[in-house]
Amino acid sequence: MKCPVCKNGETRLGTATLTLERGQLTMALCHVPAQICDNCGEEYIHETAAQQELDQVETAARQGVTVEVREFAAV
Ligand SMILES: [Zn+2]
């Protein structure tokens, strides 16, 4: 798709690192499928892909985890 940020680049499928914060928890999610602009580098992550991970963030936060790094596993 055309990049809505710079309006010049085209996005290509790649992977990005998604950082989520919930209370005292910071979670980094690596290799999430994303569309990445080849011009400005803006990352567009599919929300459906991230949604199930958000549920896991909530669970980890309740368990008192403060920092967590995960690989995106759903394929
Ligand atoms: Zn762009």
Domains of the chain: 11-71 (3.10.20)
Calculate how far, in angstroms, residue 43's C-alpha sits from the geometric centre of ligand 1: 9
Instruction: Indicate yes or no: pTM above 0.75.
Output: no
Calculate how far, in angstroms, residue 37's C-alpha sits from the geometric centre of ligand 1: 5
Q: Which residue has the tokens 């996005």?
A: 11
Calculate how far, in angstroms, residue 33's C-alpha sits from the geometric centre of ligand 1: 17
What are the CB-based long-range contacts (under 8 Å, 24+) for 46-51?
49/74, 50/18, 50/20
Q: How many helices (H) and strands (E) does the chain have?
A: 1, 4
Digitized pLDDT (tens) for each residue of the chain, 75 residues in all: 999 999 999 999 999 998 888 888 998 989 988 999 999 999 998 777 677 777 878 888 899 999 999 888 755
